[in-house]
A and B are shown apart, each in its own frame.
Chain A
Amino acid sequence: MDLFAQLFVNGLVNGSHYALLGVGFGLIFATTRILHFAYGPIFTAAAYAAWFAANVLGLPIAAAMLFAAAIAAVLGVITYQYLYLPFERGQGSSHVTLIASLGLFIVLENLIAIIFGTGGRVIDGYQYSIFLIGPIYFSSVQLGQVIAMVVLTALLGVYLARTRHGKAILATTDNPEMARIIGIDTVRVSRLVFAIGSALSAIPATLILLKDGASPSMGFFAVFIAFVAVIVGGVGSLRGAVAGGLALGMVESLGLWKIPTEWQSSIAFIVLFLVVLLRPQGLFGRAVN
């Protein structure tokens, strides 16, 4: 029972992490229909930016996080403006944009490896606290992951539903042409979601930096799991991305209860496989006809 409770908490924590990644990626995907592979290395860059701010500049963690978010936002917008937008305007299918995104992924990941070296980076002298409630233990960072997901997702939800820009994003997600017709500048909306989506990824990136340290290849798993969370949860749904991420985290963790560690990642995929087979639109997505 104790093991189960611990696994449950771990699942919740990891699920929150995946959920937040999914929310950022999903926002970009639902609004622009671009499979933004380079989301991964931008996530990595954010982690390193936070490391730089905290370790080299000596800023407090919160400030480092904001610094990372700013860097990520800028990188996201530049990627959109100079890579995706020219491809969208030219001919060629969406597959081409995907491969171009992959090219950027390769470039960025290796650039980061050259600049910062392949070894992991941690913030010198940082130690997180551990809490114990009954038989369950968790760290301050893990608590932060859950809180971050709840707070940021709620804020995003309010932003989308209540602000002018938020509504413009929702409109563009629903019907890009109609959005243009009522006077929304869909290019500006795309830039906005790239900025927001990328900035969102900086929070989990910083938390991972605190928990495990940063490494140049951390981006691959991040974008991959974000993508899976969005598909499981349903494209175009904020609740869906959260549900998808949490579901993945839970299944992965609870799967450990009975199944040996080396099969852990496979369990999640089998579940994914089944979800997509039985309910292709995801948990909260619109029905596919």
Chain B
Amino acid sequence: MEYILHILVMVCIYGILAVSFNLLIGFAGLFAMAQAAFYAFGAYATAILTLKLGLPFPADLLIGVAITAFIGALVAIPAIRISGTYLVVVTLALQVIVIAIATNWKSLTGGTDGLRGIPSLHIFGYALDNPGRFLPAAIVALVICFWIAWRLVNSPFGRALRAMRENESAAEAVGKNLLYMKVAVFAFSAGLAAVAGSLFARYLNYVGAESFGIDETIYMLAMVILGGTGNLWGSLVGAAVLVILPELLKFVTLPTEIADKSHLIIYGLLLIVILRLRPEGLLAERSTMRHLPHVDDTSRHSAEMTEPLRTGEVTLSGNDLHKRFGGIVAVAGFNIVLKSGSITGLIGPNGAGKTTAFNLLTGFLSLDSGNITFRGRNITGLKSHDIVRAGVARSFQDLRLFTKMTALENVMVALPNQAGDRVFDVFFRPMQIHREEQDNLVRARAVLDFVGLTHKAYETAENLSYAEEKLLVIGRLLATGAEVFLFDEPLSGLDRTTLAEIFPIVRKLADSGKTICIIEHNLDVIKELCDVVYFLDEGHAMATGTPDQLMNDPALATRYFK
């Protein structure tokens, strides 16, 4: 009986670990392999603080969680510049270094002998020093940790996290602060793992370096993947399966020399078989369904959408922009002035620097020299998400929709000024978040109505037709509430009928005072929509004028028009 209780305690501890790991791998898409290191920090913190400083519960737990969360946040910073296999390597390296420290810094960690005699938890004078007594505490800890993770992933922050996972640059382009999100999710993941570590220390009354090696991280990884990434309940199931399975196998009696190895063989085979049968994991990722509000509620906000700004004012201007990549000059002395209420076209041969210009204007690339002003304010050098928040947003030629999210979610994640993006507000201002979500739904509906995609609100972006995808790109950009829209080939590949439907939408946007700039190859679109056109070649504007003026220019004709 005590044996079963012990198993259950371990399931709780690993449940917390798997949930914490899933936050990183499943929800944020950050394949970091240092989870056992965070686990170790929590365990050693409790051990050292109780044994060497005599701190009582919950001081050791809270300090341990705080330190580990901080370290997690530090690990996030290199994660900004690297991803994929490289992140795996860096975090693995970290893992190894931490274990080496644990093994070698004998005075602090007891080295390979570890630290013994860690005091058990005492609740109401009761010592939780056996599995039966410890289990309720473990369960309480699991419930609290699970709730924290749950709240995080089901909030607007969680939605932004999934968007970041789907496509980082697109998430940035709708104003999400990637650094903040990565730091936050790493901090949470590490902090929760530290809770598990502290529990472990209190339960076994001992910590030693051998419990926190790479195998541990891999063990936790298997739990997350088996249970299903992107599903928190799945992590619990995965933890339960992978803790209980080896124990069940012990009942298969075999000669002692080969017993534990045979058990491991069966364990490995079962892992392969289960994954083969259910490659997406035992529990699939669920989408958070929200329901669209009715039409009456939108009237309030459609007014907001079309509130006119003054036209004819200079909004965005790029002055003498220069950018080179190694030996290649991409942009050389490019000047552009955009005005509210007008649609500006940007044309030119391939490799002329058009998309690079957009990247420079919106902070996706840094300038070598030159400056950018928005309504008189110098925005050169600002990060892209800050530029979006200031009012300048761009779309991508290759769409970069959040493919696994619904059209509605794609739009909602782009809405600006969401308190729900901030972790503090998610946990400490739930009512405000709730109200904002209701508002967000209304605003999202208004956007979907505007581009004519309301009937596809619940469809995942990857299931939309090409024309619908293009409309969603426009809608997502609109949702940012920016004043200046830079569209990169928004209409390419669309047939005449669809174009005829979209042109008035674009025109309406401009008439309401927005500033629009479009990169296009389709000369008919340029002629139809644009008030002024810049012809870009070899990195700078070779000519500016109305569409007719440019298309009748003989010099340009040879370069570009045939």
Give the interface of A toward B (CB within 8 A): 35, 83, 86-87, 90-93, 95-96, 99-100, 102-107, 110-111, 113-114, 224, 227-228, 231, 235, 262-263, 265-266, 269-270, 272-273, 276-277, 280, 288
Contacts and interface: CB of A to CB of B under 8 A. Distances in A.
Interface string B27-65: 000010000000000000000000000000000000000
Q: Which of B81, B86, B258 has the most CB of A within 10 A?
A: B86
B461 to A, nearest CB: 19
B97 A92 contact: no
Nearest to A91: B279
B205 interface: no
Interface on chain B toward A: helix, strand, loop, or mixed SS?
helix
B218 A102 contact: yes
A228 B89 contact: yes
Interface string B214-231: 100010011001100100
A276 B89 contact: yes
Nearest to A228: B89
B379 interface: no
Given A87-B276, A90-B276, A96-B279, A273 B93 contact: yes
Interface string B326-366: 00000000000000000000000000000000000000000
Contacts of B4: none
B89 A231 contact: yes
A110 B226 CA distance: 22
Contacts of B270: 103
B85 A235 contact: yes
A260 to B, nearest CB: 8
B245 interface: no
Contacts of B218: 102
Contact of B272 (A90, A100, A265, A288): A100
Interface residues on B, range: 35 or more
Contacts of B96: 265-266, 269
B97 A103 contact: no
B125 interface: no
Given A110-B265, A266-B100, A280-B82, 4 more contacts: A83-B272, A93-B229, A96-B275, A103-B275
A99 B94 contact: no
A100 B267 CA distance: 12
Q: Which of A35, A106, A113, A272 has the most CB of B within 10 A?
A: A106
Contacts of A277: 78, 81-82, 90
B74 to A, nearest CB: 13
Contacts of B214: 224
Nearest to B81: A280
A224 B33 CA distance: 13
A110 B268 contact: yes
Contacts of B261: 110-111, 113-114
Contacts of B101: 266
Contact of B271 (A87, A95, A100, A111): A100
B549 interface: no
B269 A107 contact: yes
B218 to A, nearest CB: 6
B103 interface: yes
B431 interface: no
A231 B78 contact: no
Contacts of A263: 100, 104
B262 interface: yes
A270 B92 CA distance: 11
A35 B84 CA distance: 12
A9 B262 CA distance: 42
A266 B27 CA distance: 31
A231 B97 CA distance: 18
B280 interface: yes
A231 B280 contact: no
A95 B81 CA distance: 21
Given A90-B276, A95-B229, A262-B103, A110 B264 contact: yes
Interface string B1-41: 00000000000000000000000010000010000000000
Given A110-B268, A263-B100, A272-B89, A99 B82 contact: no
9 contacts: A96-B280, A102-B222, A103-B272, A107-B269, A227-B89, A265-B96, A266-B100, A273-B93, A280-B86
Contact of A103 (B25, B90, B271): B271
Interface in B256-299: 258, 261-262, 264-265, 267-272, 275-276, 279-281
Contact of A266 (B97, B262, B265, B280): B97
B269 A103 contact: yes
Contact of B86 (A83, A86, A231): A231
A100 B221 CA distance: 12
A3 to B, nearest CB: 22
A86 B82 CA distance: 30
Contact of A87 (B89, B221, B262, B279): B279
Given A110-B261, A110-B264, A92 B226 contact: no
Given A95-B31, A103-B271, A231-B85, A269 B265 contact: no
A95 B275 CA distance: 11
Contacts of A87: 275-276, 279
A232 to B, nearest CB: 8
Contacts of B225: 95-96, 99
Given A266-B96, A269-B93, A102 B104 contact: no
B435 to A, nearest CB: 37
A104 B272 contact: yes
Contacts of B269: 103, 107
Contacts of B222: 99, 102
Nearest to B95: A269
A88 to B, nearest CB: 10
A114 B266 CA distance: 13
A118 to B, nearest CB: 8
Contacts of A99: 221-222, 225-226, 271, 275
A35 to B, nearest CB: 8
A111 B264 CA distance: 9
A277 B91 CA distance: 11
A270 B93 contact: yes
A99 B219 CA distance: 10
B93 to A, nearest CB: 4
A273 B95 CA distance: 11
Contacts of B265: 106-107, 110-111, 114
Given A114-B258, A270-B93, A276-B90, A106 B221 contact: no
A195 to B, nearest CB: 22
Q: Which of B82, B93, B258 has the most CB of A within 10 A?
A: B93
A125 to B, nearest CB: 27
Interface in B81-127: 81-82, 85-86, 89-90, 93-94, 96-97, 100-101, 103-104
B100 A265 contact: yes
Nearest to B31: A95
A188 B261 CA distance: 34
Contacts of A35: 85
